[in-house]
Amino acid sequence: MAYKENYPSVLLEEAVDAISSLPGVGRRSALRLALHLLKQPVENVHHFTSSIARLRDEVRYCRHCMMISDDDECAICADRSRDHRTICVVESVRDVMSIENTGQYHGVYHVLGGIISPINGVGPSDLTVRELVARVAAMAGAEADASADTQPEVILALSGDVEGETTAFYIYRQISGYGVRVSSLARGLGFGDDLEYADELTLGRSIVNRQIFRP
């Protein structure tokens, strides 16, 4: 249903404009949220706005992996018990949080800050690919000195769409000369997925890449 816009107050209209600029928030929801905030105590609203302003003003990024951090080194990169010779390359901060929540990964990360997308005007130079190549080069150099027992690895944990594949292929070409193992996430049926509803591409790949049954 269309909502005609005759706001009783310019202040209200400007707040609705601002709130509805958020992704997924329409003008109706924005009005609801603005009127909700109006009913809150002044100090709560100030806390709300200052939390957001401080996040934007004071946020820092880890100098190694470009993850959001309160410091110039994130908690993961600072953790010496983690495997610093395995780098998981992801698109965004959320991906790091998702993978951390699995509890299955003990290496470090590299946040690209986006994905190569000619349609959205995002090229490799808009991402942190150069920083990744420098890390891989440094790791390869250290390897040569240390005669370590395992080969360093870069996991390309990017989405399975065209843009993700393009980005993975671009990065692969940039780092393949350094003698690191390059892997990508396993693709296949999700746990609990019904065969009947799987798309053909996923089902096909999960047959080709079938795994030894370990009950």
Q: Which residues bind a copy of itself (CB under 8 A)?
A: 3-4, 6-12, 14-15, 17-19, 21-24, 29, 31-38, 40, 42, 44-60, 67-70, 74-76, 92-94, 96-97, 100-101
Shortest Cβ 10–a copy of itself spacing (Å): 5
Shortest Cβ 109–a copy of itself spacing (Å): 10
Shortest Cβ 150–a copy of itself spacing (Å): 27
Shortest Cβ 79–a copy of itself spacing (Å): 12
- Residues 35-58 as b or e (16 or more Cβ within 10 Å = b): eeeeeeeeeeeeeeeeeeeeeeee
Other beta carbons within 10 Å of 203:
16
- CA-to-CA distance for 183 and 158, rounded, in angstroms? 11
Evaluated on CA atoms 167, 173, 177, 182, the torsion sign reads positive
Listed residue (176, 156, 152) closest to 166, CA to CA: 156
Put the strands of the sheet holding 181-184 in their side by side order. Answer: 107-111, 83-90, 153-156, 181-184
Maximum distance among all Cα pairs of the chain, rounded to whole angstroms: 72
Listed residue (192, 187, 213) closest to 202, CA to CA: 187
Shortest Cβ 70–a copy of itself spacing (Å): 5
